[in-house]
Structure 1
Amino acid sequence: MKRPLITVLAGLLPLVAASHTGELAHGHDFLSGFVHPLSGLDHLAAMLAVGLWSGLALRRAWQAPLAFVLLMLIGAVAARAGLDSPLQEPMIAASVLCLGLLAALRLRLAPLLAAALVGGFAFFHGLAHGAELDGDLALLGLLLATALLHVAGLLLGLLLRRHLKLAAVGAPVLGGGIALLGCALLLQAVGA
C-alpha cells in the first residue's frame, strides 16, 4: 500500500511545482479561484489535512478550519498589497508535513493553539494565492473551495473517530501519506 502511494505522490510533484510559479493559467473569475486550490497538490493536501486532523483529534473541530480560511484571506489581502516573503514556499511545504503528522498522530492540542498553528500556515498559503489570483471573485472562489476541502477532510476525520479500529489504520496511512508529500515538497522548496 505504501509503495503505490509514494509512486503516485511522486508522479504528481510536477503539478505541485507548477501551482505556485505561474505556469498554470489563473483568471480573475469565481471559477478560476475555485479550481485553483484543486490544481496544486500542496494546497489540496494541506486543506484535507486540516479537516482530517480537526475531525480526528480536536475538541472544537470547526475552529482550526475557520482559522485557516480567515488567515488565508488576510495573507491574500497582504499579498495584493505587495507583501512577499522568501519563506512562502518552504512554509507551505512545512504546513503539509506538519499537518500530515498531526493527523497521523491524532495529536490533541488546545483549541486556541491549534487555531494559531493552522492560522500561521494559512497566512503563507494566502500570500501565495493572493499573488496568483486576480480579482475579488477569484478570491471568493478560492475561499469556498478551501472551506469545502476542509469539510471533506473533517467528515473523513469524524468518520474515523467514530470507528477506532479504522482510525488506528486510517489516520497513520492518510496523515503519513500527506506528511511524506510534505517532506518531498520541503526538499524541493529548499533546493535539496
Structure 2
Amino acid sequence: MRQRPLMLVALTFSMLMVPTAASAHEGQVIRLGSFLAGFTHPVLGLDHLLAMVSVGVVSAMIGGRAIWTVPATFVAMMAVGGLLGSAQIGPGSTFVEIGIAISVLGLGIVIAADRNLPLGLAMVVVGFFGLLHGYAHGSEIPNIAEPVVYAGGFLSGTAIIHLVGVLIGDQARRYRRGRRVLRTLAVGISAVGLMFLVGVL
C-alpha cells in the first residue's frame, strides 16, 4: 500500500520535468480566450512550473499555517508583479529572468536539503520570487487579451499548481522513502534551475 503514494510522487514530478515548446501569445488567446490562455501560461513555462510546484512542496514541508500562507504570499506578490510587468515598471527582463532561474535553483536546494525554513523567512523569499514570476507574466500579456481576465487566469493556474505541490510534499513526507525520492527529484529541479541561470547570464 505504501508503494502507491511514492509512485504517485515520482510519476508526477517526472511529468513536471518534461518541457513544452508552447507559449501563451495571441494565438492562444484566440483559441482559448483570455482566462484560459492566462490559466495555462504558468503550466507552459518549465521555469514557472517547477518554481510553483516547489513552493507548494516547501509549504507542506514546513506544515501548519505555512501550507496556505506561503502559497498565498506567492500569489499575492505575483499579482503585484503582474501589475508592474504589464506597465513595464521596474527592472529589465534580464534581472527578472536571473531571479526566476534562482527561484528554481534555490527552492530545489531547500527541498533537496530536507530542511524547513522558518515561516517568516519562507514568506519573504517566496514573496520576492512571486513578484519576479508575476512581473514576467504581466510583461507577456498579449495585446489582444483582456488584462484583468488574463491575470485572473494565471493567478488561478498558479494557485492550482501550488496545491499540486502541497499534495506531493504532504504525501512524500509521510514516508521515509518518499522523502528520499523527493530529495532526489529536487536535485534535478536544482540542476534545471542552474541551467536556466547559466542560460541567462
Q: TM-score range by the shorter chain?
A: 0.7 to 0.9
Instruction: Select between 152-161 and 58-67 the one with higher mean Cα deviation.
Output: 58-67
- Tell me the percent identity: 34
Q: Report what 1:47 is aligned to.
A: 52
Shift, 1:24, TM fit? 8.0
CA positional deviation for 1:58: 4.3
Superposed, which structure 2 residues align to 1:122-141 within 5 Å? Answer: 122-133=130-141, 134=145, 135-141=147-153
In structure 2, runs of 5+ residues without a counterpart are: 1-12
Asked if the contact 2:87–2:139 (Cα under 8 Å) also holds between the matched residues in 1, the reply is no
Instruction: Tell me which moved more, 33-42 or 76-85.
Output: 76-85
Distance in 2, matches of 1:30 and 1:170, equals: 35
2:82 is equivalent to residue 68 of structure 1:
no
Aligned twin of 1:56: 61
The residue identity in structure 2 corresponding to 1:97 is: L
- Cα distance, 1:80 vs structure 2: 2.1
Runs of 5+ unmatched residues, structure 1: none
- C-alpha distance in structure 2 between counterparts of 1:54 and 1:103, whole Å: 10
Q: What is the distance in 2 between the residues matched to 1:178 and 1:48?
A: 10
CA distance in 1, matches of 2:119, 2:177: 25
| Residues 1:177 and 2:188 aligned together | yes
Shift of 1:25: 4.6
Match of 2:199 among 180, 188, 192: 188
Matched residue, 1:117: 125
Q: Is contact 1:48-1:150 (8 Å) kept?
A: yes
Residue 74 of structure 1: how far off its partner (Å): 0.4
Q: Give the Å deviation of 1:55.
A: 1.2
CA distance in structure 1 between the partners assigned to 2:116 and 2:58 by the alignment: 9
Equivalenced residue count is 178
Matched residues in 2 for 1:177 and 1:25: separation? 32
